[in-house]
Amino acid sequence: MSSADEAMDVVASKKVKREKVEGMPKTKLTLDFKENMELLEQIQGILDVSNKKKYGRKVDLMDLLAILLEKFEEESDTAKAQERTYSKMDRVYLSHEEYNEKNQLSLTLEEYLIRELKIQ
């Protein structure tokens, strides 16, 4: 099986399906790596190395996620995950909000940018 074929084991779409089974929610999650092939290659590399063994079942993405969850530190890792999702403009808005809170001001975004960029 080629690396691209193995990668297809991990790749799918962003849709999340939820089904109820005897009152317990069952969630099936699929991921789309089109925008981040480097991450997919990294994951596939870890899986390839992890599966070079004589015994046991095949290591899969669920095993990697379980290890990550064991090491997950609620506050700092949640903040890192959130940080990864911010666009450049989101960072401007956050900076603006932080500035207003820190200095107890209520500048508009325009006023804040003029002040920060030192525009007269």
pLDDT for 28: 80
C-alpha–C-alpha distance, residues 44 and 7, integer Å: 7
Of 29, 62, 27, 69, the residue nearest 43 (C-alpha): 62
CA–chain centroid gap for 80, Å, is: 9
For residue 28, list its beta bridge partners. Answer: 17
Condensed to tens digits (0 to 9), the pLDDT of residues 27-83 reads: 788 889 999 999 999 999 999 999 999 999 999 999 999 999 999 999 999 999 999
The per-type count for the chain, helices as H runs and strands as E runs, is 6, 2
Cα gap 96→80, rounded to integer Å: 20
pTM score, whole prediction? 0.59
User: Which of the four pLDDT bands, split at 50, 70 and 90, describes residue 17?
Assistant: low
And the tokens for 33?
A: 């790596």
Torsion of Cα atoms, 4 then 5 then 6 then 9, to 10°: 120
